[in-house]
Structure 1
Amino acid sequence: MPLEEYKRKRRFAETPEPPGKVEKKSQHRFVVQKHRATRLHYDFRLEMDGVLKSWAVPKGPSLDPADKRLAMQVEDHPVSYFDFEGIIPEGNYGAGTVMVWDVGTWEPLSPVPVKGKFVPATDAEAAAMLQKGDFKFRLRGKRLKGDFVLIHMKGRRPGSKGTEWLLIKKQDEYAVPGFNIEQYDTSVLTGRTMREIGGDKASAEWESDRPASRGKAKAPWLADTLAKLDREKRKKASTTKEGAAAGVKKKRKN
């Protein structure tokens, strides 16, 4: 069952989180929830196949294409979790404050460009791309907009469970070099800050409410993966350039 892991981890008599169910239809919505649990992170969720496919993003999503955000895939959540905002009590899984940081709609994009552009794809193609681990999509949110890709790193880290992905913004008119996620510190639903949602007591209690690290140090397995992605990108760009040059040369001969 898609929500079996979600239900197993929670005691619904103690937490305000919804038990939920698998919906028959999906509306292609997305939500980003800022979650101050043991560590501050952002939960990125896409409504798909009647559930919310979910990834925990330690540093949060970015509109800067230069940022390759680690995104750890977690259990599917029910669609009713979409607008959950509040406090998960101590002693429960994921205890802490949850804010709805962004909401909107999304659409899958074609696996390869069509006439130089990525175009809308079908739900079947989206499922295949997610399974393959190279999932392109377009967001239309209040804060996140434009084209993104989720790339599965397929367990390159020693002892990995295969849950590591990278969330990357594609270069387009919505790209923002040097994007700072901390400029947005209120809920898009209620306008409240994390402190206001959690209350004074919770705010004082959770010391992990601090800016995400901006350090450049990366674990070796992640650095290797990013280097490989950069090499593949340069190789693809070089091949495209050589092909264009050959086409121009052939045209001149004719």
Structure 2
Amino acid sequence: MEYVILFLIGICATTIGTLAGGGGLISLPAMLILGIPVHSAIGANKVSNTFSSFSSFFHLYKKKEISLKESFWIIPVSIGGGISGGFIASKISAENMYIVAITLLIFAFITSFIGKGNFTGQESLKMNKVSIPGLYSIGIYDGLFGPGQGTLMFYLFGYLNIAYIRAVGLVRLATFSSCFGAAITYIATGKIIWPVTLALLLGSLSGAQIGVRIAQKLKPQYVKPILRFVTVALIFQIFIEHVL
């Protein structure tokens, strides 16, 4: 029965994560409630996200919604940011990490009302003074803490005037990049409980395909309200779990 629950958790978390980020808001707390050790739960998330995020990206790539020429450089930038974040995390206290997380999410929430980006633009992703520092900084955040990484990236791509469906593909490629290295680390250190991880992985693969198909039909004007809802939920979860 536990594996069926994990499969359903994977579907729900990855569907939401594909649409607006924040899938970890569902999967990690749910796994902890089931009694799965925290490092094994995080490792299961990283492994499942590696495969599910790539499957979403590849679906959009096959549909020619996104090109490798536009997106390939995300991989080294995100990996570099993740490595930097992991190094910084070893130097910062847990309390300060939570403050950084809440501050960034509140900032993203406020700027969503100020910013002009509404995911209706047709700009391609280019290497410039906004995209490179933005993606690298979010990679650092992912290495530092993690929850909300995808949501922050959606805000960045909205600001860069990139169409929503292409933003989905770009976010999923960046998520694949950041999770790949982390997944290898958790596997190498023996933190993975494979039956748990495989059940979550199968659900995540299903959720990724559901989410990407919903994204192809989602009207751009609905994207920011969904992002704002996910952002508030992330802030609330982090505050309740780590501040109170």
Instruction: Kindly indicate whether structure 1 or structure 2 has the higher relative contact order, using CA contacts under 8 Å at least 6 residues apart.
Output: 2
Of Structure 1 and Structure 2, the greater strand share is in 1
Per the normalisation by structure 1, the TM-score is 0.29
Per the normalisation by structure 2, the TM-score is 0.29
Structure number with larger C-alpha Rg: 1
